Structure 1
Amino acid sequence: MKKILVALSLTGIAMFFAYCSSTKTASQAAVKVVKISYQQHVATILETNCAPCHFPGKGGNKKALDSYAAASANADEILRRIQLNPGERGFMPMRHPKLSDSTIAVIKQWKTDGLGEK
């Protein structure tokens, strides 16, 4: 009986130390936090989903969103409108499907991260 208890205790201790190895902390440290920026993330979203209407260079005649200054100045309005559902007044992009949750999350994170340009 004593041998069984000792064997179980040693097995438990071995399992405990196996899960407390330093490799886990090393892999967790490898996780890199990416800050969302206009140039790397948001500009592409706007060009893909808001052109040509909001890009004067492409023939648009609506409020311009073709530069960092314009997009960052209107970030709250952009977020408000893209979070509406189709059919609601002010929904964007007009006459197109609602943007995916992940796309909306990128713009939300951009605002949370401080509206970085580069």
Structure 2
Amino acid sequence: MKENSIITGFHAHVYYDSDTREVAAKIREGLGAKFEVVLGRWHDQPVGPHPKSMYQVAFAPHEFPQVVPWLMLNREGLDILVHPETGDDVTDHTAHALWLGKKLELNIKFLQGIS
């Protein structure tokens, strides 16, 4: 059994498109105002393993019980990936992942270093 202590942090990836960017901005504003999070850059094109536009929100393990329920109630129909940071990117984005909304198909080969 793995211990929770291997989780050094969490990432939430908020996915959007041109029609929902304003909704994503509203969610981002709420996250920044209410919680101790680090808001990543806007990526208006797919980047890394992510199949569509998104921004990342990083937060510490102690913030999980506040951030994730807030996202559950305030995601406004957007799809969000929440995953731990354990040092194993592939497993964190797959077996350890939590999806709010629709589960999107990630490019896991990118995480494996396969092009």
Q: Name the structure where helix makes up a greater proportion of residues.
A: 1
Instruction: Report the TM-score when normalising by structure 1.
Output: 0.27
Instruction: Report the TM-score when normalising by structure 2.
Output: 0.27
- Could you say which structure has the greater relative contact order, defined with CA pairs below 8 angstroms and 6 or more residues apart? 2
